[in-house]
Amino acid sequence: MQLIETEKAVLPTPWGNFFIFGFEEKKNGKNHIALVYGDIKHSAPILSRVHSECLTGDALFSLRCDCGNQLEMALARISQEGNGVLIYHRQEGRNIGLLNKIKAYALQDKGLDTVEANQKLGFSADERDFSLCADIFNILNVKKIRLLTNNPFKVEMLSNAGINVVERVPIIAKRNTQNAYYLKTKADKMGHLLPK
C-alpha cells in the first residue's frame, strides 16, 4: 500500500454533502483526496470517477480542456446515482506538473498539439500512474466500480492494479472552439472514446 488515510470530513457542495477523505503518499508526502457520496458499503458496483488534477480547468475555468466540465458532470452524476466515489488524483498536467503544463500550453500556442507539446518537453504523452487510485479504492473497500471515463487506458491501468471495472460509463463534456483540437488529439492520438 503506497498511501495512508489521514482524515475525513463533511464537504457540502452544490450536489449535496460528500465526505472528503485525505490520503498521503508514504514515499513523498504528496496528497490526494476522495469524495464519497452516500452508502458505498455494499457489493454492487460503485459509480466512480478518477479525476486528474487540472488547476486551470477545474478552478480557473479554462476552455482549453474539458476537465472542469467533467468534474462537475461527475459530481452531479454521482449525486443523482445516490452513491459513488470521486478520486481527485493530484497529477497535474498528466503528471508533468503545473509549470511544465504552462510551458506545454505555450508550445500549443505555437501550433503543437497536447501530445507533441509534452514530448517536446521530454515527457511521454501521459505520465500518470493510476495504481495510487487503486490503493484509494482498496482503502475505501470498493472492489467493483462503474468508471466514468472516456479513457480506455485508465480502465486498463485500474484493472491491472486489481480494481474490477465492470463498466465504462462515458462522460462527454461540451466541445467549444478552444478545446476542439485538444479533444480531437485525445481521440486520435491517445485513444479516448469521444464523438467525432
- Among 78-87, 93-102, 183-192, which stretch is predicted with the lowest mean pLDDT? 183-192
For residue 66, how many C-alpha atoms fall within 13 Å in the half-sphere facing its CB?
A: 23
- The C-alpha atoms of residue 195 and residue 185 are separated, in whole angstroms, by 12
Summarize the chain as % helix, strand, coil (round to 5). 35, 25, 35
Task: Give the tens place of pLDDT for each residue, 148-185.
Answer: 999 998 999 899 988 999 999 999 988 899 998 898 89
pLDDT score recorded for residue 59:
97
- The C-alpha atoms of residue 40 and residue 89 are separated, in whole angstroms, by 19
pLDDT score recorded for residue 113:
95
pLDDT score recorded for residue 43:
81
Q: How far is CA 140 from the centre of its chain?
A: 17
- The C-alpha atoms of residue 85 and residue 175 are separated, in whole angstroms, by 25
The answer to whether residue 195 scores a pLDDT higher than 90 is: no
Task: Write out the catalytic residue numbers.
Answer: 126, 128
The answer to whether residue 193 scores a pLDDT higher than 90 is: no
Neighbouring-strand partners of residue 87: 34, 50
Helices (H), 52-193: 67-81, 92-95, 98-109, 114-120, 131-139, 152-160, 180-190
Type of residue found at 95: N
The answer to whether residue 1 scores a pLDDT higher than 80 is: no
Q: How far is CA 30 from the centre of its chain?
A: 16
Cell of 97: 506538473
pLDDT score recorded for residue 60:
97
Type of residue found at 164: N
Annotated binding site for Zn(2+): 54, 65, 67
Annotated binding site: 49-54, 65, 67, 70, 92-94, 114, 149, 154
Task: Give the tens place of pLDDT for each residue, 124-155.
Answer: 999 998 888 999 999 999 989 999 999 998 99
- The C-alpha atoms of residue 45 and residue 165 are separated, in whole angstroms, by 8
The answer to whether residue 2 scores a pLDDT higher than 90 is: no
The answer to whether residue 196 scores a pLDDT higher than 80 is: no
Annotated binding site for GTP: 49-53, 70, 92-94, 114, 149, 154
Neighbouring-strand partners of residue 53: none
Q: What is the pairing mode between strands 16-25 and 31-37?
A: antiparallel
Task: Give the tens place of pLDDT for each residue, 24-62.
Answer: 999 999 999 999 999 998 889 999 999 999 999 999 999
Domains of the chain from N-terminus onward = 8-91+128-190 (3.40.50.10990)
Predicted model pTM: 0.94
For residues 61 and 70, is the Cβ–Cβ distance under 8 A? no
User: Is 164 strand, coil or helix?
Assistant: strand
